[in-house]
Amino acid sequence: MYPTANDLSEKVRSEAVRLLNARLADAIDLQTQVKQAHWSVKGPHFISLHKLFDEVNEAVEEYVDEIAERAVQLGGTVEGTARSIAKRSTLSEYPLQASTGKEHVAALTAALAAFGKNVRQAISDADRIGDVDTTDLFTEISRGLDKWLWFVEAHSQAKE
């Protein structure tokens, strides 16, 4: 940990950085999965899904930046390299052979839901250790994830 004038104890800051890096791994993995879907989607709903997936990516990119910057603000070191993320992400592997809109919607629904669950646990964990700002950050991310899950999942809920 780097020294900082932040008034949170080093123990709280250290635990928060560990928690932030864990969710950072998931967030970066999620971002790459969303881009995979954006690049690979095919079919009659191509353009709407292509655009939607790009919007989701932009939001997740912001979450990545906010999580990483919070870890550094607390005096921590960010663990955001591709190799670190590959080792630490808890998300399931993205199905690289997916091509149809339906397949990508299902894969991203699962990834967004899994990340959302992890972020909600992070809200509780940050609250337990006494870092209200990290709790607030994860709460904001959770609300955004629920919106994007709704937007993606809606493509699989209609009776056709």
Write the secondary structure of 62-88 as one string of H (helix), E (strand) and C (coil). HHHHHHHHHHHHCCCCCCCCHHHHHHH
Please name the CATH architecture into which domain 10-155 falls. Up-down Bundle (1.20)
pLDDT of residue 7: 87
- Which among 62, 69, 63, 146 is positioned nearest to 109, based on CA atoms? 146
pLDDT of residue 1: 84
pTM for this prediction = 0.94
Residues in the chain: 160
- Which among 100, 94, 74, 98 is positioned nearest to 18, based on CA atoms? 74
pLDDT digit string (tens) for the chain, length 160 residues? 888 888 889 999 999 999 999 999 999 999 999 999 999 999 988 999 999 999 999 999 999 999 999 999 999 999 999 999 999 999 999 999 998 999 999 999 999 999 999 999 999 999 999 999 999 999 999 999 999 999 999 988 877 6
pLDDT of residue 3: 87
pLDDT of residue 5: 82
Query: Exposed/middle/buried for 5, CB within 10 Å: 0-12, 13-18, 19+?
Result: exposed
- Which among 67, 55, 56 is positioned nearest to 26, based on CA atoms? 67
Q: What is the Cα–Cα distance from 85 to 7, expressed in whole angstroms?
A: 30
Domain boundaries, the chain: 10-155
